[in-house]
Each structure stands twice: as C-alpha cells, then as structure tokens.
Structure 1
Amino acid sequence: MNKLDSLSPFELKDVLIKTAGGDVTVFRPENRSMLNAGRGNPNFLSTVPRHGFFQLGLFAMRESERSFAYLPEGVGGFPKRERIEERFELFARENKNTDGIAFLRGAVSYVRDQLGLDASEFLYEMCEGILGCNYPVPDRMLPLSEKIVNHYLRNEMIGNQPFIDKFDLFAVEGGTAAMTYIFNSLRTNYLLKPGDKIALGAPIFTPYLEIPHMSDYRLEVIDINADKDRNWQYPKTELDKLRDPTIKAFFLVNPSNPPSVKLDNESLIYIASIVAERPDLIILTDDVYGTFADDFVSLFAVCPRNTILVYSYSKYFGATGWRLGVIGTHRDNVLDTQIAALDDEKRIALRKRYQSIVPDPDSLKFIDRLVADSRSVALNHTAGLSTPQQVQMVLFSLFALIDTSDSYKTALKRLIRHRKRALYRAIGISLDDKEEDDTGVDYYSILDLEEIGERIHGRKFAEWLISHINATDLLLRLAREAHVVLLPGQGFGVQHPSGRVSLANLNEADYKRIGQAVRTLMEEYVEQYNTECPGESLSKGKVSSK
C-alpha cells in the first residue's frame, strides 16, 4: 500500500502535478509539458451568452448615465423602468451587427412572448443586476431570474415528466456552496444529527464521502454501490438498503462522478417505489452533469417532495470561475414536514434561532432557512448571490431555452465523445460495444486497470496486474515518466484499481498521448509478467481474443 493512498484525490492531484513537473498554483491546460486530465475544469465555454452579458452591461451603463448627467465626476444612477424596452430596442438597432445583440433581442422576445413575463421588468432587473448597484432582493433569488431559471431546470431536469405544483430556488456560489449550505442546514434544523445513517450512491464526488465523517457531522455512511458490470447502475439489492428506516437521507450525483452514467429509467422507477414506501426519506441529487446527457430525467422529477435538487452551471457552460449554482425544493416537501414535527425542545430552539428575521419562525421554509444559515442568520439581510452572477446565470438559461434544436448540447457531446474514442483507441481498446448505450455522458472516464488488462491481454494477466500493481504507484509513474496527471478512482468510492480521466479539459490529440502513455506502461507490466510467469508469456501490444 502506498502512503499516499489515504489522501483526498484532489490533494493527491497536487502531488502528481509536482511529480509531473507542473505548478500546482496555476491551471494551464495548454501546457504541453504536462497533460493534466485530473481536474474536471472544461476547456470549452459558451460564448453567445457571454457576448450578451457584456453588451447588456454597456446598455445598463447607458441607462445609469441618464441620471446625474449634470455631474462631470462620473456619477451615475439606478436605471429607470419607464420606456426601458423602447430604449433597449434603440440600443439594439444601433449595434445590430455587434456580437451578443441578436441574442439579447431574442432573449427579451423569449421572456415576453414565450414565458409571458413583462419585458420592461425583465430589462430593469437585468440592468440593475448587472450594475450590482443594489442588494439581492429577495435575497434567495431575484424574482424574474428565479422564474427564468425555473423554466430552464424544468426543461433540462424534468422534461416531459408530469410535475405537480412549483418549486423554489436559492441561487448559490456553485455546487460546492450548495453542498456546504445543505449539510449545515440539515444539521442545524435537526434533520441530521451525529450518529444518524445516510446513504451515498457510490462512486461519488469526493466531498460527499468526506463531509459526513467530519467532526461537525459524524454521520454513519451506508454505501449504495453501483455495479460496473451493469454499466454503473445500482443493483436492486443495493437500492433495497434504502428501505432501512434508520437511513435518514440518500445523497447521489446523477449522472455519476466519475463513471459519467445517468440513472436509467428502471432505476428511477425503482427508487420512486422505495420512496413511496418511505415518504420520510430525504434525497439530495447533484445533477451538474445532467445537461450533457441524452433525455435526462432527474430524481427531482420523479420524487419531487423528497428531493433536494443541486445544479451547477460550471461544467456545461464552462463557467467554473463564475461560481453559479442553484438549490431547488418543491413547495410541498418532506423537509418542511419533518421540521414541523420536531419535538417542543427543538422547535423552541429553532424559533430562537430565526426569530430575528420572521415574525413566525415556525412557518419559515427549509429553503429560506438555507439562505439565513448561509449568513449565520444575523446577516440574513445581506444574503444572496451577487446580482451580476445571477444575470449571467439567467443569460445562460435563456441561451439554452432558445436553442430548441440543442445545437450547443450536440456540439459538446460530439466534442467529448471524440476525445473518448481517441483515448481508448490509443490504449488499444474499441468502444464500439459501448457507444450505443444512451445512459453514458462521458464527461469523465474510469481507466480500470483490470478491464484494460483483460481486454488487451486476457484474464490471467488482469488478475496478476491487480494483485501486483498499486493504483497510486501507477498514477505516480504516469506523472513522473509521461507527465500525465490522472486522479485515483478509489478517492471517489470506486472499489477497484483505476484512474479518473477528465474528457473535458484537454484537446483530442492530448487524449491520444494519454492513451499512448497508458499503453506504454501496460507493455512494461507485460514484460514484468513475462519474467514472473514465463510459462504464460504474452506478446507486447497483442490484443487478447477473449
């Protein structure tokens, strides 16, 4: 066992980067001396809504400068609602050939004609928001912004599924903030306490594995293990663990990280049947990769009353630096029901906690408790995601809503899947038998030592490989000898020796180089195998006929 095996994969990443001769303080995907496929920061981004953002900023500045124009010192004022739509049309005509203008005109039209919202109110909210000249009001999310993002999430997360009533959104600083706030508020509101059991859908994004064991929470974790031989779906025998009434919550990432596979329809239906028997079960689904999937349906769509939805704009729009995410809860949810059913001692404690922000603390919804807790309650009046961030979130949402042919989504899926083919082709593995499966998302891929060894050189070599080679040692060799950085699969709850490769942050030729590096290393292990097992020697580069 390597002494580095206990490190979080994101801490081990820094060790691997140093081993590969890189700088851990700077993200440089274009650095040709090192190929860092460890972190999932995409090297693509959505340009159209960004052009729209900057043009909207120029229009907002024009609106601001209409006030206090008599002052030469550069003082502006708040935009004015009256006739703002007319002034925007004039601005758009004057700049009709400028990138971003056609998108903005389309966005205003879509908001007015398809969503039925007031265009002047929308433009005012966007202008005031992009100028950042007022506190976020309401603090949970700007009113029209919430409605627009709500439509986007319905389109991407719910689709054609029947969905009764509405859901509330809290705009947050990305998926990481969402995780932090949710864990904290579940504990603060006595929905989870030390010693409680929670289930984690494994493999899963590492912080979900680590946070429950921290001293703040001290939760008992039950793993719901996906089966790699069933294309990373959860067997019913694993999902049946959720029938245990002592398990308070089930957390999962869907599509999964790192397998990059969405729950299939059979799994969604089966989980919904368990929830029907266990209406007290709390579910958190982190669906950041859902927008890369074909016909994605979230657990939030099939179990809305029990499910907290987390969505981040970071990966799909190439916006990790923007820190944009939302938390969603159904208006009628199990969280509020369980809080209302707390014993008198706990309810009195919570009344004292929230009494400074509402006259009737008992009626405060869980999602609004999240907002207050995010600012230690005392600073609730200054809570909320910055308004320029909310504006960019809205423009991303409108861009996707207007793109009814999904041309942007299709381009990203094509880009990523070409990279995956280049990677595996260089290793020496055909993906023809996997590419037809519609549950695959391919944002990440797991390089499974056992699978690679067996598919290229047969079962006996694969067994020897996993019994002789430590996965961390292999990753260190890749970093040292080939300047390739991958993350360990075990750090995400993968139960077998593997490395996680992000297919989002390098170019196709780079993935070919990574595949060649893995192939070269495997051939060296073949030489070692031939030395130790001379009666069963293999030829380097010869693919098994298994």
Structure 2
Amino acid sequence: MAKGEGSIEKSGLEALSPFELKDELIKAAGGGVTGRPANLSMLNAGRGNPNFLATIPRHGFWQLGLFAMRESERSFTYMPEGVGGFPQRTGIVERFDLFVRENKGQSGIEFLAGAVSYVRDQLGLSAGDFLYEMTEGILACNYPVPDRILRISELIIGQYLRREMIGKHPFVGEFDIFAVEGGTAAMTYIFNTMRENFLIKAGDTIALGMPIFTPYIEIPELNDYDLNVVNVDATVENVWQYSKHDLDKLRDPRVKAFFLVNPSNPPSVKIDEASLDYMAEIVKERPDLIILTDDVYGTFADNFVSLFALAPKNTILVYSYSKYFGATGWRLGTIATHRDNVLDRALAQLTKEQKKILRKRYKSITTDPDRLKFIDRLVADSRTVALNHTAGLSTPQQVQMVLFSLFSLMDTPDAYKNALKRLIRSRKRALFEEMGIACAEGDPNQVDYYTILDMEYLGEKLYGRDFVDWLLKQVKPNELLFRLASEARVVLLPGRGFGTRHPSGRVSLANLNESDYRKIGRAVRKLVEEWVERYNDATGNKLDPGMVKK
C-alpha cells in the first residue's frame, strides 16, 4: 500500500463536498475541526477566505458610529440611565461638519468627510439625506425600509456595480438591487423563488458553466429541485474558456437557465470578450433563457465586464463584497435585475392555475399579486412571505456595503485594486517557482485569486502521457491531497469537487503569505518527484524527477 493510502479508504469521503472534505484534510494535517490549526505549521490553502482586508472604509464605519452615538445622545439627555433617541434630520450636516473638525487627523475621518462630499458633488444626492440614512442605519434603530434595500444605499451601491461589473460597456435602462446576506444567501433565495414561482420545476433542465463553485453542482441534485443538468465545460486545454461547441448547448430550448461563475471558481479566469459576445448572440436567439452570473471575483480582474452588461434583461447578477474587501464575516451581497427582465415576462406568461396559486401566496403583501416583480418576490420569500414586514438585510450591514462602495468609487486610480493584484500574483509566482514550473503570465483573463494544480495536465506537460497514464492507475482519488495533508501539513481542496475533469487541487492564493506558498510549492514538488522515481523503478524509464521549467 502506498504511504498515506489508508487515509482515503474512509467510508463516504468521496461523496463529500470539497468544503466538508476539507475538514478531514485538516484533521489529517493535525488541525482542529474549526479549520484553525492546533499546529501552527499547517498551511491551509483550501478555503478562499482572504488574509487581507480594506481598512479605510472600516475606519470610516467606526467613526460614523461615534458620530451616530452623538446624534442619538442629543435626545433624552435628562435621563441618566443611558437612554438615547433617534437621530434628527434637521441640522445633521452642520453637526457632522463640526464632528469632522473636532476629530481631524483621526483614522477614517478624512475618508468619511470625502464620502459625504462625493455623494453630494459627484452623485448629486442630498448630503443631509445621506447622513441621516447612514446614521439611522448604523444605529440599527429601525427596520430596513424599504425592505429590499435602503433608498440612497441602492443608488450608491448601484453606481459601484455599474463601475465594477459594467464598466465602459453601454447599458440601457435601470436595475433593481436586493441587499442580501452574502452570495450564498443570494443563491438560496434565487433557487427557492424560481421554484416557488414555477420558473423551474423537478425534471427541468438547466446548464452549469463548469468548473463551478461546488454548491451550484449540489443544489440542483437536492430533492427540493431535482433538476437535470447539462455541463458547459471550460477546460484547461482551452485556457479555461468555454468552446463555441459547448456554448451551443444553450441553444437547446429545453435548457431553461444557465448558471455560471465569472471569473471562474476555481480556475480564476474571466470569460473572454469573444465568448461573452457569443453568449449575447445566443440570448438574442433565445430571449426566454434565464442566466445567473455570480461575479464575486470580478473586482480582481483587469477591465472586467459582466454578462449582465451584455445581456441585462436575461441576467440575474449576484455580487458579494466578501473577497475583495476581506469581509466574509460581514455577509454582504447583492442581487441585481434589470427593470425589464425575462423573469417578470415569464411570470406574466404562467398558466391561470399557476397564477391562482401565486395570488394566494402573495395576497397578504400586495393587492395586485400578479404584478409583483420577481425581485420583490425574492424579498418576500426570504421571510416565507408571512414575515415580509421584517424582511431586509440589517441596516449596519447595508451601511458597511455603502462605505465599501464609496471607497472604491472614490479610488479613481484603483490603488487598492492594483495593490491586491500585485499581492496575489506575487504569491502565485512564488508557488510555481518552488514547484519548478514557470508561472504563466500575460493572459489578460487570468485573475489568480485561486489556481488549479491539474496533475494530469501538468504531468503530461512535464513528463509525457505514459507517465500520466501510469500515475492515474496508481493513485486513488484525493490520495495526493491526503498525503500533502498528513506528510507536509498542506491543505488544498479537490478540484474534481468543482467539476474539473482531471485530478487536481485548488490552491487559494488569498489566504496565506508568500513564504507559505513557497513551502506549498516545495511540498508538491517533493511528492511529484517521489512518484516520478517510482515510475522509473516500475518501468525502467529515466525521467528526471525534478520538475523542469517550461
């Protein structure tokens, strides 16, 4: 038995999601079940939680909180028991200006003052209305009203999405936004509301852009949905782009929806311009096709353009603030739909019986259920309709989203974005240098938040097909990952769990330091060199066990 082979014989491991298998790999590496290693030498590159975060908008958040407390304490001052009141709209701008002068030089003050100026001068919004919404929001003293998203917050977040997701691409019309608890909540709400409103039903066919974030693979298989899935494959041989042959699967009228992640997870490659244009042409032929694009990594890409920009009326845009701003614990995300969209048109075309069922479902929240927009049904369904009056993302979360958005909008030279790109790309170079492979650079579609170590592709490139064929016969699924965990205390996620066709491991380039990626690279190289030596012994060949730069 090969060393470490027994580790993968445990019953049921192959059926686990990669995020659950990660816990088993952490245990094999000597870590605790929480994912925080008991042994500090463990290197967990499995999960994509970044080890960087945006400090300036956070400083602004805490300073805004101090200002809001002053506003609250202006009321009930006769009560010494610590009772405050709601902020007052009248005079709030003047009191804020005084607060800024009194705290000049404190971290976050300059940003906060600049944010108010930007909202007033660049966006043409009322500084007083903005400050009042932010002050009341950060105090969390009222329900989220409107429940879908706060009024001025939607305008500011909308500007951010336009800049980062649409860029310079022409965009006609307006879109609505629903503020949600991160991208995973967005996925949950969308799948559920589509099912409840007969837009998808058991036995229907959807397409998945593969490889993809694992829950997209797992959700359609649940008995809640029981959907048939057609894979639209991006392959390593095609530099992780979809071929026209695969995209043509979307022309099939049986395919009701196409779900994708762009830039992809785990290859971390954005869809190229030609493929986006090709998909937009397919949508013109298939105006009934529903598209869901999860673009959380778009802000790490150069000149990113979402499919939402090219096919806005057919596309649901999901964006999360978690990775770019280092805010996974905040749970901040958005769902955006064009105000003239395929979803609302599909609702209008439902059968009389289906409409009757939905009138009963939504009659408690509107006098005209038939005209309730899809995005507003999302809001209601997020609270099982009956609790719609308590729907909405918590207001402090919305305030932080606004401050993150303003931080990006005000950063006209993209200083923060460029710093993150330099950071993660230097980590990728360090990883590949230690593996003995030249790091591929120059591809404008590479984002590099993650990288895939595709053992079949790299093995064939370095040692030839005979070696790869021999290796695949010797190595059980995930064996290399368990050996890296148990012998080198390195944790990666299985690429196969994301729908890749080759044995591979996903490396997050966001959550460790450069020196750690050098250690991971050395560990991978050592393991591969051992297999090359075993291949030489078994076959009599004389391959050089050291990976040679290509």
TM-score range, shorter chain: over 0.9
**What are the Cα deviations for residues 113-160 of structure 1, in whole angstroms up to 9, with x where unaligned?**
000000000000000000000000000000000100000000000011
Q: Match for residue 351 of structure 1?
A: 359
- Kept after mapping to 1: 8 A contact 2:207/2:257: yes
**TM-score (structure 1 length as normaliser):** 0.98
Query: 1:415-464: per-residue Cα shift (whole Å, max 9, x none)?
Result: 00000000010001002xx3101001000000011233234333432332
Cα RMSD over matched residues? 1.2
Shift of 1:100: 0.1
8 Å contact kept, 1:226–1:235: yes
SS at match of 1:495: coil
Please list, as runs of the form range in 1=range in 2, the aligned pairs for 1:328-347 lying within 5 A after superposition.
Answer: 328-347=336-355
Bigger shift: 330-339 or 221-230? 221-230
Separation in 2, partners of 1:350, 1:542: 61
Q: How far apart in 1 are the matches of 2:458 and 2:246?
A: 26
TM-score by length of 2: 0.97
2:222 corresponds to 1:234: no
Task: Output aligned runs, 1:48-67, within 5 Å.
Answer: 48-67=56-75
Asked if 1:540 corresponds to 2:540, the answer is no
Residue in structure 2 matched with residue 472 of structure 1 by the alignment: 478
Residue 542 of structure 1 deviates from its aligned partner by 5.3
Q: Which of 113, 117, 125 is equivalent to 1:109? A: 117
Match of 1:166 in 2: 174
Contact 1:471 1:488 in 2 (8 A): no
Moved more, 223-232 or 306-315: 223-232
The amino acid of 1:539's aligned partner reads D
- Aligned partners of 2:529 and 2:547 also within 8 Å: no
Distance in 2, matches of 1:36 and 1:95, equals 41
Aligned mates of 1:540, 1:438 — CA distance in 2? 32
> In the alignment, which residue of structure 2 is the partner of 1:400?
408
Offset of residue 26 of structure 1: 4.3
Matched, 1:75 2:83: yes
Mapped to 2, the partners of 1:249 and 1:324 lie a distance apart of 25
AA aligned to 1:500 is R
Would you say 1:454 and 2:460 are equivalent positions? yes
- Match status 1:285 vs 2:290: no
Cα distance in structure 2, aligned partners of 1:412 and 1:57: 28
Q: Pairwise mapping of residues 17-28 of structure 1 onto structure 2 (< 5 A)?
A: 17-27=26-36
Residue ranges of structure 1 left out of the alignment (5+ in a row):
none
Deviation at 1:471, TM superposition (A): 4.1
Amino acid at match of 2:263: P
Deviation sequence 1:270-326 (CA, Å, 0-9, x none):
000000000000000000000000000000000000000000000000000000000
Instruction: Give deviations 1:321-369, integer Å, cap 9, x for gaps.
Output: 0000000000000000000110100001101100000111111000000
Confirm or deny that 1:379 pairs with 2:384: no
Structure 1 contact 43–506 (Cα < 8 Å) conserved: yes
> Are 1:218 and 2:226 counterparts?
yes
**How many residue pairs align between the two structures?**
541
Structure 1 residue ranges (4+ consecutive) displaced by more than 6 angstroms after TM superposition: none
Distance 1:377 1:112 in 2: 37
Match status 1:463 vs 2:469: yes
1:415 aligns with 423
The one-letter code sitting in structure 2 at the alignment partner of 1:541 is: G
Q: CA 1:544/1:150 → structure 2, altered by over 3 Å: closer, same or farther?
A: closer
Is the 8 Å Cα contact of residues 23 and 35 (structure 2) preserved in structure 1? no
Q: 1:499, 1:110 → 2: CA distance?
A: 44
- Where does the alignment leave 5 or more consecutive residues of structure 2 unmatched? 1-7
Where does residue 501 of structure 1 map in the other structure?
A: 507
Q: Tell me, what secondary structure is at the counterpart of 2:162?
A: helix
In 2, the alpha carbon distance for the partners of 1:342 and 1:455 equals 53
Secondary structure of the residue aligned to 1:270 is: helix
1:154–1:31 CA distance, 2 compared to 1 (3 A): farther
Percent identical = 70
1:542 and 1:418 map into 2 onto residues whose CA distance is 20
C-alpha displacement at 1:541, in angstroms?
A: 1.2
